[in-house]
Structure 1
Amino acid sequence: MFAKAFRVKSNTAIKGSDRRKLRSDVAATFPTLTSEQLSEVVPNKEELNVIKLYTHKGDALTVYANSRNPVLIEVEKTLYPTDLMLPGVIVPSCGLPQVERGTLCAVTLVGNRAPVAIGIATMSTAEMVAAGMKGKGFTVLHTYMDHLWSFGDKASPPAIAPLEAELAEMEGAEKEEQEDEGEEGQAPENSLPADPSLQLDTESLNTKEPIQCAKVGEKEEPTENGAAEIAEEDNPDVLQEVEDSMSPQEHMDMLLQQCFFHALKCKVKKSELPLLTSAFLRNYMFSCCPKGQQLDIKKSSYKKFSKFLQSMQQQKILQVKELSKGVESIVDVNWRHENIRSFVVPEIAAPESPIQDSKGSDGEQLYHPPEIIPLYGVSSKMAPLFLESGYRKGHTLSSSEVRSTIINYVKMNELVDETNKNFVKVNPVLCDCLLNKSEQDEISKLKWDDLLSRCLDQMQPFHQVTFFRHEPVVRKGNIDSIDITIAQRSSNKKVTVIKNLELYGLDPQAVANTLQQKVQASAAVAALPGTKDRAQVQIQGNQIHHLAKLLLEDYQIPRKYIQGLEKAPKMCRKK
C-alpha cells in the first residue's frame, strides 16, 4: 500500500473531542490492549496529528501520527496499527495458530519477534495448510522501510529475542530438516518452505476482508508486501532499483543520515562535547558530504536540523540540551549505539571546505560566488492576471518573465490605448489586481512603467541561488545581505561583526581564520542569536577595509549584497 510515494492532502492536529473518540475506537477495536499500551498509541496530552493522504493508486486513507510517527491507519472506517507499535502474539510451539479470514497479522523475521510488516489474512489456517502454503495468503498494508515508515522518524525495529521455546523449536526444526535432507533429499510436502525467511505472528482481530492480496511463501513475488525487498537485501541490483525509485526528499533524508553518522563515527571526539549543533552541522556534517552532492536540510522530510536531531535523540543516539537561551548543544553521544557501530564509512568522502583560501597555489579560483537571481511569486491577488499564461498561485517568475507575461496579457485583451500607446487601459482584472480602493474609481489608464512596477510590488519576493556545480535553490523572500557592523566592547574597544556568510556559501570559520592571518587580530565564531544553524564572525578592531577587500576582490561578492562597508574608518592623510 505504501510501496510508492503517497500524496498528503492535509496534516492537522487532532481536536480534543476527536482524540477521546479515537481512544474509545481503539479500545473497542483492540480489546486486549492495556491502559498503558492504549496511552502509548493515543496519548492524552502529547502531539497527535490527523493526516489525510492518497496512495499511489489513488486510495484515500487517514493516518494518525503520534509525535510525527504514524501509529494508526484508517481504511474504510477500519483502524489498523502500524507494525512498530502493537506487539503480535507469538506463534506457539504446537504449530501455526488458528487464523480466520480477516485476521490482522504481523510479520516478523526469524530470530527477532519485532514486527516488520502488518497484513490481513485472506484464508484460514486450514485453507493455508490445504493449499500447501501456496497462493494468496494475506494482504500486506504496511512494511518496514516503505514510504509510511519514511514519513516518521525512520527508526529501526527493536531487537526482541525469541522466547526459549521458540529457540528450542527452531533448533529442533533445523536439525530435523538436515536429517530429512540427508535421508530423503527433500522436505515433506505439507511442511513449511525449506527457507522460511518470514514467520507469522497473529492477533485475533476481526476486520473486513480486503480485495487485493499478496502471496505467502513466495518471496520472489514483487508485490507491495515488501518481503521480496527483505529477502533480497544483499542483491546490489535490487538495492540500486530501490535507490533509483526514491524521491528527491528520500535521497536527501538518506544523505542527511549518511553525513550524520559519518561525522559521529569519524569526526567528533568525546573531548569536544558539549558541541554547538550549528557547529556540528557546519564543521563536521558538511565536510562529510560526498563530492558533487549538496546537503540541504530544507529539502529533506525534517525541514529543520533541530527536528532531525530531535529524531536522533528519540532513538537514544545522542542528547541535545539548551545550555544557553536559544542555543542548543550536543552534550552526549552514544557511540555504542548499533546505528553508529554498524555504519560503513564511504570510501570517497567530500573534500574539506574550499574556502580556506580564495585561490590555490597555482592561482586557480577555488571559491566561486553564487549566482543570485531575484524571482517573483504569483500571489492569490495576482493569480487572475497570470492565469491566461498558464501560471497559478505559487509559481515563481523572473522579472523578464513577469514583463513578457504582462505585455502578452495587454495585447491579447487589446488594452493598449488607441490615442496614446504609452498608456494601458485598466480593465476589471487589472483594477482588482493593481489598484487600491481609493484609486479604482479614479484611474482608468496606467503608463507601461507604472503598470509593470505595480505588478512587481504586488507579487511575493523570492530569490534563486545557484552555487558552483550545484542545482539552483529557490528560497522565499529577498536574500539577506552580508551584514557588517561595528560593536563597542568593554574598555571602549571596537569589534567587527560579520553575519549571513553562509547564505553565500562562505564558511564563517574559514573567513575568520583568513581575516585573523591578514590583520593579526584575534577572531572568533559564535552562534548567531535567534537562529539554529547560523554563525557570526567577530574580530577585534574596525577591520572593514580588510573585510571589503576580502569580500569584493578575493571572493567577488557583488557590492549590493554587502551592507555596512560605509562604516570603514577614514584614512588619515599624510602631511
Structure 2
Amino acid sequence: MFLKPFNAKANLHMKASEVKKFKSKIESIYSDLTKDDLTNLFTPKVIITVTKIITNSGENLNVYCFDKRPMFFENKNEIIPTIYTCWVACNIVPYFTTFDDVLPRLLNGADLMLPGVLKQGSGLKMYGNYEKGRIVAVNLVSNKFACAIGYLARSSEDLYMSGGHGPCVKVLNIFGDCLWNMEPSVALQIPSNTEEKISPQDENNEPPLQTQSDENPSCEVTPSSPIVLEENVNNSDEISLNDITSLEEVNQQNSTTEKTMDEILQEAFFIALKQKAKNLDLPILFSNFYRNGIIEAATKPINLKETTYKKLSNFLFEMSKKGYIGIKKDTKGVEKIISINYSHEDILNFILPSLCISNDKSDQGSNPLFTSEMQELYIISEETIPLFTKFNYNIGQRLTSTQIKKIVREYVSKNNLPYNDASKTNIKLDECLIKIVGKEIISVGELFRILISKMTRTHEMVEKTGVNTNKSPIQIQVASRMGNKKVTIISNLELNGIILSELEKICKQSAAASTTIIKSPKPKQNQLQIQGNQIKLVSKILTEQYKVPSGHIQCVDLKKKSKK
C-alpha cells in the first residue's frame, strides 16, 4: 500500500480530549494491549498529529503520528498499527513467522505466501484461530520483531485446508516502505534481536502459533541511522517512545556519581581506541591522536591540567607501560603512537557508553534516507568476537558479507596460515579460529559460511549512492514580483515524499521570512513560496536535513535582467 510515494495534504494536531478518545478507541479495538503498552504508546508529553494523505492508488487515508513517527493509519474505517507500534507494544497483534530471504520479496510488493510461513501449531491450530481479514504482523526466523503488518487473506481454517498453497498475509506496511520513511528525521532501523532464533517445531510436538503475548522479545532499538539507535533495556520486555527518542535522559539517570578528570580522560582514551583509531593512520603524532581521537571521543570536556598527569605525553607514556599502545620517540618533543594492542584484556572488556554507540556514524546508515535499499547484515556475536576484535570491532556491530570476507582473507594473509595440501584449497587454522570453527583444517569458503552461521542475521535500509531515480527533481526557482520583489518557489516536493507543512516551518524559522503554500500549475501538486532569494538556504536544508542528493536539485533564477 505504501511502496510508492504518497502526497501529504494536511497535518492537524489532536487536542487532549481527542487524544483520550483515540486512546480508548485503540484500547477497545486491540484488547491484548496491557496497561504498560498503552503507557509506552501514549506518553504524557507525546504530540499526536493526524496527517491526511493520498496514496499512489488514489486512496484517502489518515495517518496518526506520535512525535512525527507514524504509529497508526486508518484504512476503510479501520485503525491499523504500523511496524513502529509493534516495536513499542509487542502484544498488539498476533505474529506469523517467515524466512529471512522472504523479506526482500515482500518489499518488492509480494504478499506473504503460505509456503513461506513456519508452522507453529498442530492440526487445525497450525495457523492459529483467526478470521479472514484479521490484522497480523510478520517477523523473521532470525528476529522476533515485526518487519511487516498486514491482514489475513483467508481464515486459519481455510489456510489449513489449502494444502500449504496460496496467499497467507496481504501486506499493508513493511519495513523500508514510504510510510516507514514518512518523516526521515525520526525513521528507525528494525530492532536487533540477540535471543535464540525462532525455529520450526517438529510436527508431532508443535506449540501453538507464536504470539508476542506468549513470549515477548526484550526490545532493543538499533541505531541508524542518523536513522542508528541501539540501547538494551534491562529488566523490561517493552520500550516506550521516550526510550527510542531520548538516550541522553537514560544515560543521565544511569550516571549516579561524577567521574574524576582522570577517569574521563581514560574513558575517552578507550573510546578513541575502540571507535576512532580504525580511521587513523599509524604511526600518528601524540597531538593528532589527542585532537582527532581523544577530544572527539570525550563525553565531557577534558582539561589536562586538572588531571594527575598534567601533560598529554605523561598520560600516553603511562598507557604504553600498561601495554595498551606502542610508542616511539623520534626526536626531542616528537612522540608517535606506532601500534595499538586491541587484544589487551582491558580494551576487550571495555564497554562503550550507549551515547557513544548511538553517535558512531561508521556503523550507522546516513539517516534520514532519501533513496534507500535493503541491505543484509550480520551482527557480531560472543562466539565470533575473538576474530573481529583484532580488527577493532565490538560485539553487536553489524557487518556486510563483503566486509566479513575481506576480514577473513586479511586475517589468513596477515597470520600466514599455511595450506594443508598441494591444491591450496584447505588451510590450517590457528588457535583463535579453531575455538570459533571447531575444526583445524578447512577451506576459506567453508570458514566464511561457518562464521556467518554463528552471527545473527538482520536487515537495514541504507542510502543508495549514484543511483538514478524516477522521481522528478526538486526545482528551486527565484522569480520577480511587483516592485522588483524576489520570491523563491520550490516545486516537486510532495513527489519526493517531503511534507510541505513541515518544510514550511523549517524554512520560515531559518530564513526569518514569510512562507506560504501555493497551488502549482500541475494538477494535484503544490509549491512552497518563500520571500526573498533563498536558494542557498533551501538547498542546504534539503541536502543536510532531508539528505536529498545535490544532483537531484535544480536551481533556476527567473528574475528579469535589468535593462542597461
- TM-score w.r.t. the length of structure 2 is 0.37
Q: Which has the higher Rg, Structure 1 or Structure 2? A: 1
- Which fold has the larger relative contact order, with Cα–Cα distance below 8 Å and residues 6 or more apart in sequence? 2
